[in-house]
Amino acid sequence: MKDIRYEDTITELERELRHLCTVIKQKGREILTNFEITPPQFQALQYLINEENLTIGELSNKMYLACSTITDLVDRMEKNELVKRVRDEKDRRVVRIYVLEKGHEIINEVLDARRHYLDDLLQDLHSDEKKAILKSVEMIYSRTV
Amino acid sequence: MKDIRYEDTITELERELRHLCTVIKQKGREILTNFEITPPQFQALQYLINEENLTIGELSNKMYLACSTITDLVDRMEKNELVKRVRDEKDRRVVRIYVLEKGHEIINEVLDARRHYLDDLLQDLHSDEKKAILKSVEMIYSRTV
C-alpha cells in the first residue's frame, strides 16, 4: 500500500475528518457529564431506539463489545430505569431490551445539547453555507452505508 | 434548553455527523486490527507526534485519561518499541515521551490505510466535489479550535 499516491485533497480530508471526529467525541463526552449516562450507554440507547428492541447479542454485535460487557451495561441501565428487559411475545426464549420513557427523555436532551453546540459553532454562516456543509457530510456518509 | 427550535439543517447535520463519526471510528478500529497497536495507542501516538515529546501529565490531559492509565499505556508502548521515555535536558526532573522510528512507521501505515479507505469511498466523485467536501469539513473543524 506504501507506493499509492493520494491526491492532496484526500490526505487533507482524512486529517480534517479525523480531527473533527476527535473534537466532536470530546465535546460529546463533555455534554454527557451533565446527564446521568456514560458514553457507552449513550451509544447503546441510540441503537436501541433506532433499531427497536434489540437482544443482548444483537447489541453486542452493533457495539463491537463482548456479550458479558453488554450484559453489565444493560444491568446498570435497567437499574437506572433507562431500559427494561422484556420477553419476546413470539418466542419466549428471546429477551429484548426496551427503552423506557426516561431513556427517551435523556437521549432527546443530549441530542438537543449537541444541536445547540453545533448551532453555536456555525452561527456566523448563512443558511446556504450550512446546507452545503450538510450536503457534503451526507455525500460521505451515504457512501459508507 | 428544551424550547429552542433549531432549523432542520442543524438537526440533520448533527445526526449525519454523529453517524459519520461512528462509522469512521468503527472503520478505524477495523484498520487497526491489521497493525500491532490499539485505538488508545493510535491516539496517543498522534498527540505525541503532533505536539512533540509530551510528558505523562500532558498526554493525560489531552486524552482525558488518568495518569495511571497513561503510565500503563506508555509502558506497553515502550515495551513494543513505539516510544521511549527521555529525561528533559533542561530540567532533569521532567520525563518526556519520544516517538521511535517504529512508532512513526506504524502511524504512517495506518494513516495510509485510512486515506485508501476514503479514496475508495469517494472515487466516483469529481475532484471539485471532493474539494467542496474538504472545504465543508474545514469550515466546521476550524470553528472548533
- pLDDT tens track for A47-88: 999 998 899 999 999 888 889 999 999 999 999 999 999 999
Query: What does the pLDDT read at residue B63?
Result: 87
Q: What's the number of CA atoms in the CB half-sphere (13 Å) around residue A136? A: 21
Which of A14, A31, A4 has its CA nearest to residue B24?
A14
What domains can be seen in chain B, in order of their start residue? 8-119 (1.10.10.10)
Are A133 and B140 in contact by the 8 Å Cβ rule? The answer is yes
- Which residue from A111, A112, A140 is facing B20, i.e. has the nearest CB? A140
**Closest residue on chain A to B65 (Cα):** A26
Are A4 and B118 in contact by the 8 Å Cβ rule? The answer is no
Q: Which residues of B touch A122 (CB under 8 A)?
A: 10, 139-140, 143
Q: Does residue A42 carry a pLDDT above 90?
A: yes
Q: Which residues of B touch A141 (CB under 8 A)?
A: 16, 19-20, 23
What H or E segment, with its residue span, contains residue B145?
A: none
Average pLDDT over residues B22-26: 93
CA B137 to chain A, closest CA, distance in angstroms equals: 7
Q: Which residues of A touch B1 (CB under 8 A)?
A: 109, 112-113, 116
Average pLDDT over residues A35-39: 92
Q: Do B13 and A132 touch (CB under 8 A)?
A: no
Q: Do A139 and B116 touch (CB under 8 A)?
A: no
Q: Does residue A3 carry a pLDDT above 50?
A: no
**SS3 for B109?**
helix
**Closest residue on chain B to A19 (Cα):** B141
What value does the mean pLDDT of chain B take? 92
Q: What is the pLDDT of residues B56-72, one digit of tens each?
A: 999 999 888 889 999 99
Q: Does residue B4 carry a pLDDT above 90?
A: no
Query: What does the pLDDT read at residue B1?
Result: 45
Query: What does the pLDDT read at residue B7?
Result: 62
Average pLDDT over residues B131-143: 96
Give strand ranges (E) for B49-105: 83-87, 95-99
Distance from C-alpha of B6 to C-alpha of B65, rounded to nearest angstrom: 33
Are A56 and A97 in contact by the 8 Å Cβ rule? The answer is yes
Which of A129, A130, A131 to mutate: most B Cβ within 10 Å? A130
Which of A141, A142, A145 to mutate: most B Cβ within 10 Å? A141
Q: What is the pLDDT of residues A9-29, one digit of tens each?
A: 999 999 999 999 999 999 999
Average pLDDT over residues A106-117: 96
Numbers of helices and strands, H then E, in chain B: 6, 2
Q: ipTM value, please give it.
A: 0.87
Block residue for cell numbers 453488554? A70
